Structure 1
Amino acid sequence: MARRHASDLASRLGRQAEAVCKRYLGAGRRQGSYWQVGDVRNTPGQSMFVRLKDTAKGPAGKWTDAATGEHGDLLDVIRESLGLIDFADVAEEAHIFLSMPPDHESEPKQHARTPASSGSAETARRLIAMCQPLGGTLVEAYLRGRGITALHVCGSLRFHSRCYYRPDEHSPTETWPAMVAAVTDLTDKITGAHRTWLAPDGSGKAPIDIQRKAMGDLLGHAVRFGLPGNVLAAGEGIESVLSVRDVMPGMSAAAALSAAHLAAIQFHDALRRLYVLRDNDLAGDGAWHTLLERANAVGVEAIALSPMLEDFNEDLRTYGRDALMAHLRVQLAPQDVARFMLVAA
């Protein structure tokens, strides 16, 4: 799958060979039907030739360095000129280039996008920029299959049709559809991304060993739903948090993605009451006790909401929406029942 994808990317880049050379091999210049430069690492010189048009000798984008005998395609140019290592990063940069408007050919080299290190916040922002809204996609089908129907104000969740997956550095890169969640700080700046790889029909998670991965700066930040206010429901998993929000759609909510990150979640200045959507395990207990101490120290009331089973999505799928609503109603502050839950009644 990755090999076919690489071949397709190289072919698409070849159709814009001169634009690729202008962007990544800016130290060179056009000479007839070729781009001439010192080497694939964009050193000034004349020993490397990149074919700019399809000919009987080969397709556009193929290059040869007469001094060293090296040869390759435009994916190699992107990798070597930017100093990238992982294929996923090379492919991401190629996608970014191919998604640019037609007039990007005239951009000077100094404005070219600099490489981002794998797993960084900048890589997360680039990934999210490549995604589309969840409406009508496999993400919507996946969430509805888990009983979650309140999908308004879910701009932090997006869909990527071919998101790269590699379980470890020794395995080949694959592509799977994915739910991509934007992790943000209190100013709504994207600091990270969380990927949930999905089955091709959206019926569940992809049949792979590691179905979820996060990247970027996560500690203290979260996947956020709704506008910040004086009441917040915060939990670990995206699906668990969305299940609670399904019966309290007016309440601001946040998914911290793990118990450790939940314990460290940052508070808005306006926050006065925090509902901790704890999972039924030791890690969930630990996150709750840490948050209770932190909230008390800054004058925020903290209330634990506990599921009937392991987490709130399991409750929703097992017992249904009405049962989950009844279970949560008795745990809420009375004023919040009227404020939030009756909206969903």
Structure 2
Amino acid sequence: MKEAVVRETAHDLADRLSGHAEAVCQRYLSNGRRQGKYWIVGDVRNASGRSMFVRLLPSRKGPAGKWTDAATGEHGDLLDVIRESMGLVDFKDVLDEARSFLAMPGPQLLRATRDPAPVGSPEAARRLIAMSRPIIGTLAETYLRGRGITTLDGTGALRFHPHCYYRPNDHQPTETWPAMIACVTDLHGRLTGAHRTWLAPDGSGKAPIDTPRRAMGDLLGNAVRFGVPCSVMAAGEGIETTLSLRCAMPDMAMAAALSAAHLAAILFPPTLERLYVIRDNDPAGDAARDSLIKRAADAGIEAIVLSPAMEDFNDDLRHLGLTALRASIADQLMRRDRLRYLRQAA
């Protein structure tokens, strides 16, 4: 009886996946590409090549999602694609991954009938995020922990894509690397863009490419947000810098604007009374600080600068340790915020 239920559940999931065949291929067979009514890739384990064909639209030959490898004679459905491309052994894990994919908001699931999104557009960012997954248990988590960032609760704005496209320039072929994907949102939580940090294959650092960080979409005034701001929040440039400070103050809402210029232009929540400006020790950071302090003052918001001992707070965290980072910011915080937000070592 239990076995029959598993078969029925698997059949239902495969049928639902077939309605999003192109999205499944883009996520799990990212080394391939669409050609007419098919997705073409090297094999079901996502190798580059042209021997495997996945049907993207239903036809007289069968439903969408059915595939055949002309080189090996292998064939199957989209559950097989998920299993083989991710190297899953336990079929329960395959079903859980399929359910996780299908649980994404409906408008974000790509359908084969949709037109390609303009490169770098908010729509392209939405589609990339729809094809990514939470960071826990991925190389993105490995990367952050390698940078000393271990407080990962409340980091739903961060996602992971195992094969994110990277094109060095217009004259070189597209590559794929694992990537940490960050959601850029406006003050109302609406997605406006995405930031990509391409990673080394083992997650030990950034990928060995010329520009391992790139953003897309509408960024001005928006940010990667951690927590919901009320009267107090902190804002900085980089994701790692902001997350490093958050290790000491996990209950304070924070936002990463992704660059000095965007930090200077970040929009203020209507409830904000006090803003901590997370400063980087460089000329661009100083300019952003000065501009942001002036804008905050004009808006009636108290602005206080938090300065690292080294180049940025991630350097402080990695080289000096969390205890030293806490001590360095303790005297920079308002007393009421120090008592409320600064988490001391257990």
TM-score by length of structure 1 reads 0.72
The alpha-carbon deviation at position 18 of structure 1 amounts to 4.4
Matched, 1:277 2:272: no
- For the Cα contact (< 8 Å) 2:323–2:345, is it kept in 1? no
The alpha-carbon deviation at position 343 of structure 1 amounts to 6.1
Structure 2 unaligned runs (5+)? 1-28, 45-51, 74-100
- For the Cα contact (< 8 Å) 1:183–1:221, is it kept in 2? yes
Task: Tell me what 2:53 maps to.
Answer: 14
Matched, 1:300 2:326: no
Task: Tell me what 1:5 maps to.
Answer: 31
Supply the distance in 1 between the matched residues of 2:202 and 2:131 (Cα, whole angstroms). 20
* Structure 1 residues 282-324: Cα deviation after superposition (integer angstroms, max 9, x where no partner): 1111111111111111110000011111110011111000000
Q: What one-letter code is carried by the residue in structure 2 that aligns with 1:5?
A: N
Supply the distance in 2 between the matched residues of 1:335 and 1:299 (Cα, whole angstroms). 19
Matched, 1:187 2:188: yes
Task: Tell me what 2:139 maps to.
Answer: 138
* Structure 1 residues 235-274: Cα deviation after superposition (integer angstroms, max 9, x where no partner): 0000000000000000000000000000000000000000
Task: Tell me what 1:115 maps to.
Answer: 116
* Structure 1 residues 87-115: Cα deviation after superposition (integer angstroms, max 9, x where no partner): xxxxxxxxxxxx789xx9xxxx9x93233
Q: Which moved more, 1:300-309 or 1:6-15?
A: 6-15
Supply the distance in 1 between the matched residues of 2:204 and 2:213 (Cα, whole angstroms). 16
SS in 2 for 1:183: strand
Supply the distance in 2 between the matched residues of 1:134 and 1:295 (Cα, whole angstroms). 33
Matched, 1:259 2:289: no
Question: Relative to 1, partners in 2 of residues 1:301 and 1:100: Cα closer, same or farther, differing over 3 Å?
Answer: closer
Which has the larger Rg?
Answer: 1
- Fraction of identical pairs, as percent: 57
Question: Relative to 1, partners in 2 of residues 1:266 and 1:55: Cα closer, same or farther, differing over 3 Å?
Answer: closer
Report how many aligned residue pairs link the two structures. 267
The alpha-carbon deviation at position 279 of structure 1 amounts to 0.5
RMSD: 2.8
TM-score by length of structure 2 reads 0.72
Task: Tell me what 1:203 maps to.
Answer: 204
SS in 2 for 1:154: coil
Q: Which moved more, 1:162-171 or 1:8-17?
A: 8-17
Supply the distance in 1 between the matched residues of 2:304 and 2:202 (Cα, whole angstroms). 38
Supply the distance in 2 between the matched residues of 1:100 and 1:146 (Cα, whole angstroms). 32
Structure 1 unaligned runs (5+)? 23-29, 35-51, 60-98
- For the Cα contact (< 8 Å) 2:221–2:262, is it kept in 1? yes
